[in-house]
Amino acid sequence: MSADASTFASDRGRRGARFVLGLVAVVAVAIGLNLLFGPDARAQEPGLGAQWAQDPELVDRGAQLFGAHCALCHGEQGRGLQQPGPQAGPPLLGVGAASVDFMVRTGRMPMTDAQHRLQRGDQRFSDPDRRALVAFVESLAPGEGPDIPDIEGWEEADLSHGLELFTRNCAACHGPTAQGIAVGQRDVSSTLDVASPIEIAEAIRSGPGVMPRFLDDTMDEEDLQAVTAWVMDLRDRERPGGWSFGRSGPVAEGAIAIVLGLGLLAIVMYLLGEKAHDEYDEVEEYRGER
C-alpha cells in the first residue's frame, strides 16, 4: 500500500470515528432532555398533598388533630370502624389529598351530626391545620389517591370546551346552570354557586358522595381547568334580565314569569270586580231608598 493510500484510509477512519461520537452525543443529549422535560418527568412532580406529607412537623400536627377530631369515627390511623353504628366512618387509607382537603375546606368534615347527610358548612379548621390534616392522611397511604389538582391558569381555559365537558358529564346531576337538581327521592345535588375553583377541581378528582371520580385518564388537566372555568363563568355571569329565578333557563323562567303575571292579573280583576259589585249594591240601595 502506498503512503497516499495509507493516509486516505487513516483520514477516513478518523471521520468515521468523529461521526459515531457525534451521533452518540446527539442521542445522549436527546435522552437527557426527555428525562428532564418529558411527560414522565412532569408526572413525577409531587402535588401539594404529597409535598405536605413529606413535612414531619406538619404530619405530627395532623396526627394530633386527627386523634382529637377524626379518630372517633374513622379509627386509629384512618382505618375506619368495623362495627356498625352511627359513628362508623369509612377508612381513609388511599382516599387521596384532594378528598381530605375538599371535605375539610368545605366544612363537610368533621360532621356535627352523623345522622344527617354531608352538607356544606363553615370550615372549622384554620388553613394551617387543614394542611396538617391533609398531610397526615396522605402520609398513611402516599400516592394511592388523587392529589390536590393544580389549576393555576384556569382563567385562560377554553370556555366552549368547558361547556361541552360540563354538559356531557355534570349537567345531568347538577343541572344545566349548576344550581343543583333532584337526583333521587330525597337527594338534591349540590349547587356549585358557592364553590371556589379549587373546590370544583377537587370534587371532580375525588368524587364526594355518590359523584363519580374523574381522574387524569378521563379528564386531563386541560379539561379540568376548562370545566372549572365554565362553572365559574356561570356563577359570575351578569344577569341582564333582572330576576333569573335560579338561572333555571329562559323557558322555565318565562313560564314562571307568565304564571306570576297571570296571578297578579287575576288578583287585580278580582279586586275590580269586588269594587264594581259594591258600587252596584250602593246604587241599588240608593234606588230603594228613593
Q: CA-to-CA distance for 144 and 146, rounded, in angstroms?
A: 7
User: Smallest Cα–Cα separation from 202: which of 158, 35, 211?
Assistant: 211
Distant-in-sequence, close-in-space partners of 112: CB < 8 Å, separation ≥ 6: 121
Distant-in-sequence, close-in-space partners of 99: CB < 8 Å, separation ≥ 6: 145, 146, 202, 206, 208
Residue that the C-alpha cell 358548612 belongs to:
121
Q: CA-to-CA distance for 276 and 290, rounded, in angstroms?
A: 21
Mean pLDDT estimate for the chain:
83
At 211-220, the pLDDT tens digits run 999 999 999 9
DSSP string of 100-131, one letter each residue: HHHHHHTT-SS-S-TTS--------S-HHHHH
What share of the chain in percent tops pLDDT 90? 45
In the prediction, which pLDDT does 235 show?
82
At 81-117, the pLDDT tens digits run 877 666 778 899 999 999 999 999 999 998 877 667 7
Is 97 in contact with 137 (CB distance < 8 Å)? yes
Determine the Cα angle at 87 with ends 81 and 93, to 5°: 40
pLDDT category of residue 36 using cuts at 50, 70 and 90: low
In the prediction, which pLDDT does 247 show?
58
Residue that the C-alpha cell 368495623 belongs to:
82
Which residues face 188 on adjacent strands?
182
